[in-house]
Amino acid sequence: MSKPALPIVVLISGSGSNLQAIIDAIKARQLNAEIKAVISNRADAFGIERAKQAGITTHIIDHRKHPDRENFDQAMIQIIDSYQPALVVLAGFMRILTDDFVNHYQDRMINIHPSLLPEFRGLNTHQRVLEAGRDKHGVSIHYVTSELDSGPLVIQAMVNIENSDTADSLAEKIHQQEHIIYPMTIQWLAEERLQCKNNQLFFNHQPLTSPLIWENNTLQNSNT
Ligand code: NHR
Ligand code: GAR
């Protein structure tokens, strides 16, 4: 791999299984990135243990110790910018970010959201998809903009819903897909195969006008 490793900072709030998938892909040399730091807003996030286990610097920034969202976000900006990341990765990060924060990282911050956006923005998506009686579910990776779960869509992975599925079994199926497509997407960025300029996506140097689709372990796209 000739290009330098992509410096990234990962933001988490919980289990950190997506963080683990990124750590593992870097170790396996499938992903040419370097995690400069992991930041959690919760001290008890298991992802912090995962990061420490991997020898990665960690920070706890507890939102409850800040008077408002602006103040919390400014504290995060200070820490994040000290690492000069090319990319900020939201991996199960559960705090809505202010416009100032989002604008500061325009074209440099991605999120993984457990639904086929634009459907089912927000929280508790697995339960809501079941209640809506859908037979398809999925997960989306998008650039973060100030409108929640609405930034440019990079890729969506599809999951079939069976009659026997529960919110827990769907979460597990979604996690399996996430652990494939999140490291893959970050590697595309490291390779500059994927780019975001002024909120416009390019894949293989062509404008990406609809999201890439990952289904049956295969990338479905015209401009690959
Ligand atoms: N911030 C902005 N501005 N834009 C986005 O698209 C964002 C974002 C922050 C997080 C992840 C998102 C998801 O993938 C994300 C996308 C948390 C909430 C939420 O309601 C909603 C969406 C997402 C993450 N959080 C509550 C809040 O008051 C707190 C919930 C909790 O702490 O458990 O911030 O779904
Ligand atoms: C993932 O399924 C991710 O899509 C979802 O939280 C989980 C985090 O898992 N994100 C959101 O719901 C964002 N609001 P992890 O901590 O094991 O990576």
Which pLDDT value is given to residue 193?
A: 98
Tell me how long the chain is: 224
Which pLDDT value is given to residue 2?
A: 75
Report CA(50)–ligand 1 centroid distance (Å). 22
CA-to-CA distance for 114 and 71, rounded, in angstroms? 28
Tokens of 71: 């103040």
Closest Cα to residue 116, out of 105, 107, 103, 126?
126
CA-to-CA distance for 215 and 158, rounded, in angstroms? 6
Active site residue 66: no
CA-to-CA distance for 165 and 67, rounded, in angstroms? 41
Which pLDDT value is given to residue 123?
A: 97
Q: Identify the three-state secondary structure at position 189.
A: helix
Those residues whose C-beta lies under 8 Å from the C-beta of residue 178, and which sit 6 or more positions away, are: 17, 18, 21, 112, 114, 139, 157
The residue whose CA has the least distance to atom 8 of ligand 2 is 92
Which pLDDT value is given to residue 146?
A: 92
Which pLDDT value is given to residue 8?
A: 99
Which pLDDT value is given to residue 222?
A: 56
- Sequence-ordered strand ranges (E) for the chain: 6-12, 33-40, 58-60, 87-90, 109-113, 136-143, 153-160, 194-197, 200-203, 206-207, 212-215, 218-220
Instruction: Answer yes or no: is the C-beta of 14 below 6 A from any ligand 2 atom.
Output: yes
The residue whose CA has the least distance to atom 7 of ligand 2 is 92
Which ligand approaches the C-alpha of residue 22 most closely? 2
Per-residue pLDDT of the chain (224 residues; tens, 9 = 90+): 578 999 999 999 999 999 999 999 999 999 999 999 999 999 999 999 999 999 999 999 999 999 999 999 999 999 999 999 999 999 999 999 999 999 999 999 999 999 999 999 999 999 999 999 999 999 999 999 999 999 999 999 999 999 999 999 999 999 999 999 999 999 999 999 999 999 999 999 999 999 999 999 999 965 55
- Which residue among 13, 73, 96 is best mutated to probe the pocket of ligand 1, counting the most ligand atoms within 8 A of its Cβ? 96
